[in-house]
Structure 1
């Protein structure tokens, strides 16, 4: 038997949860592919608690069954991958929608040195009725575009379930998600850690099961999108925060000196107040970006970049606290000056509210941002010191 060879080159991994209708044909196609192409390999099924006879079918057809107690698509795959013995792994669903009889394009790319080989269903072909309308024209294109935009990944089919990879390379990524977003995590972290990724065409056939799939369009789509945002502090916090900060600051500076008149419109104190709020909010977003990047580096989610390391080294606790104190003192001085002027008027009614508020609002904004800067400096220092030695090793 092909599986009994000492050095296993390829493990074909299939997650399973009550797939009695289609699991047998998937295993047979996979095993025939190994035999026909003279590949030393095995078929490993990660069972997630099947009760419909799937386990017995797998065993009867010579597949290794790994029992995974933790529920979820990702959990089943991670358990099966861990138990597999192959140098290379090809994973695919158990619904007979992916062609396990045509795996050589993946194997050849892996042999050439690629770390992750993605199937591309849009290039290979999608049978009529194989992919729901929303998935084909909205979900997959949009999420794939976001993946390419956020992480500079050149692949066109971000969510193809048929993919091959070097076991050693993927294990170094320390994948953690247990649900459907496992597929996104693999690609994102492979890109972040500079693994070699490529695509090959593959055909998507109609689901061979009579029951609905485990995939839930909106729930799982949101989980994928949420994952992409969480792994990209730049797009979640930094870019929106930077744009809001620039717009708010520019308008804030202009209006704090004089109102803006545009035809019949006048942008004055109310706009100045909103711009001040925009500055505070955007500063918080930029702070979140900075802190989440430190945390992600400490947790091994993203690698350390020299540019960020230089920023972290330069803006240390002392410099951050001094900067925050300076901003706070300037804001406090402006407020104190207003108070002294009010006292000179015997605490009476302020006659020139416009001039007063043009000093009051900037002073409040500076006091808030100054205090936030002080606390940001302490918190970033705490995270950088306590969370993990990995981050400070490079400082």
Structure 2
């Protein structure tokens, strides 16, 4: 149990857990992961014969990591010490763990949420939206990403290699379990109004943003790759059409001004894709994301030499079109040009020059980040 000034409810939580051990004849221990309590929580925990661990760093995740590391059990169940969860009813978790599941999540929406137990925004906006994003990004079939009561094996925890220290630790545990191909299931869990008189430590907006930020950073395909592909395709198709001739739609004429925007779409989309590649390498090589067969294939498809060749080809075509545009200008004795005709040469030329330079720089940086590989 993570603990930061939980003197009002800590004793009842400990006693419920002890009752569970006795009732179901479970050989277990209770670990209180203290995060700097000053209200007598430590003394309460010690008086009830629990193991007290002092987390050196502040934060929900830091406290849990300290407690989990110090625990000796084959299976570990974590839960808040605010008496909102029933520690006397942990058998569904233990049964699933004994059945071989690596991570067992509680689902408060299936088990029941007592009136006023969960703030309105958390119940109808924050939790459902973040859980939906988690399911969409990582294809995890659970309904409650942020349930504070969950169980896992110590062996599975060691495979997760969790890094975060704050409230996003809850999301990281689920995501890392999926990325490491660990088995995940859920059980219905009831949530009742906590027994504290003070406000909760959870901050709706800042902690919600930390969860969302984590989900986005650990899914670079959704953050960079998919938007980049969409932008690049729109830009490429529209640019190709407009280079050939103006596009007329129901009396609306799209000409070189639209071509300029279309080429910008292509460039921005390409930059998104580049950022995806660089983020992926950085995350994997720094052990934030696990290596996969797809990652290993990436270095076979993309390498420095191939990138340099493609980059110089784009540069050469861009330079050729630029010289062609200069030739058209010279034919007019460097006088006034027809903007529509000239820009159909110049815009693709500038776009290819930029794409060529970006490809070369990306290839060089890609190879530097992949040196460890």
The TM-score normalised by the length of structure 1 is: 0.93
The one of 336, 353, 356 aligned to 1:367: 353
- Cα offset, 1:70, TM superposition: 0.4
> SS at 2:104's partner residue?
strand
Is 2:2 the counterpart of 1:18? no
For 1:161 and 1:375, the matched residues in 2 are separated by 45
CA RMSD of aligned residues (A): 0.9
Whole-angstrom distance in 2 between the partners of 1:98 and 1:124: 11
Aligned to 2:238: 251
**Cα separation, 1, equivalents of 2:352 and 2:292:** 31
**1:313 counterpart (300, 321, 326):** 300
Which deviations, in whole Å up to 9, do the C-alpha atoms of 1:225-279 show, x marking residues without a partner? 0000000000000011111111111111101111111123111111110111111
Moved more, 123-132 or 335-344: 335-344
Instruction: State the match for 1:9 in structure 2.
Output: none
Match of 1:86 among 63, 69, 73: 73
What residue in structure 1 maps to residue 344 of structure 2?
Answer: 358
Alignment counterpart, residue 142 of structure 2, candidates 147, 155, 172: 155
Which runs of 5 or more residues in structure 1 are unaligned? 1-13
Q: What is residue 92 of structure 2 aligned with on the other side? A: 105
Q: Distance in 1 between matches of 2:6 and 2:294?
A: 49
Partner Cα distance (1:233, 1:126) in 2: 34
**Mapping of residues 1-395 of structure 1, within 5 Å:** 14-350=1-337, 352-385=338-371, 388=372, 392=373
**Poorly superposed stretches of 4+, deviation over 4 Å:** none
1:11 alignment counterpart: none
* Secondary structure, aligned partner of 1:42: coil
Equivalent-residue separation in structure 2 for 1:223 and 1:259 (angstroms): 46
Task: Tell me by how many angstroms 1:311 deviates.
Answer: 3.0
Tell me: CA distance 1:179–1:323, structure 2 relative to 1, closer, same or farther (3 Å): same
Aligned position for 1:4: none
Q: Return the alpha-carbon distance in structure 2 between the equivalents of residues 230 and 240 of structure 1.
A: 14
For residues 110-140 of structure 1, give each alpha carbon's deviation from its aligned partner in whole angstroms, at most 9, with x where no partner exists: 1111000000111111001101111111111
CA distance in 2: counterparts of 1:311 and 1:117, whole angstroms: 33
Q: State the distance in 1 between where 2:356 and 2:79 align.
A: 53
CA contact (8 A) 2:28 2:73 kept: yes
Aligned partners of 2:173, 2:329: CA distance in 1, in Å? 62
Looking at structure 2, the residues matched to 102 and 64 of structure 1 have their Cα atoms a distance apart, in angstroms, of: 21
Distance in 1, matches of 2:28 and 2:137, equals: 36
For residue 295 of structure 1, report the CA deviation from its aligned partner: 1.4
Distance in structure 2 (CA, Å) of the matches to 1:111 and 1:88: 9
- Ranges in structure 2 where 5+ consecutive residues have no aligned partner: none
- How many residues in Structure 1 have an aligned counterpart in Structure 2? 373
CA distance in 2, matches of 1:85, 1:369: 55
In the TM superposition, what is the alpha-carbon distance from 1:343 to its structure 2 partner?
A: 2.6
1:314 deviation in Å?
A: 2.4
Q: For 2:84 and 2:213, locate their aligned partners in 1 and report how far apart those are by CA, in whole Å.
A: 26
Task: State the 1:384 CA deviation.
Answer: 0.5
For residue 29 of structure 2, give the secondary structure of its aligned residue in structure 1: strand
Q: Distance in 2 between matches of 1:67 and 1:310?
A: 44
Q: Deviations for 1:90-125, whole angstroms, at most 9, x for unmatched residues?
A: 000011001100001000111111000000111111
Shift of 1:342: 1.7
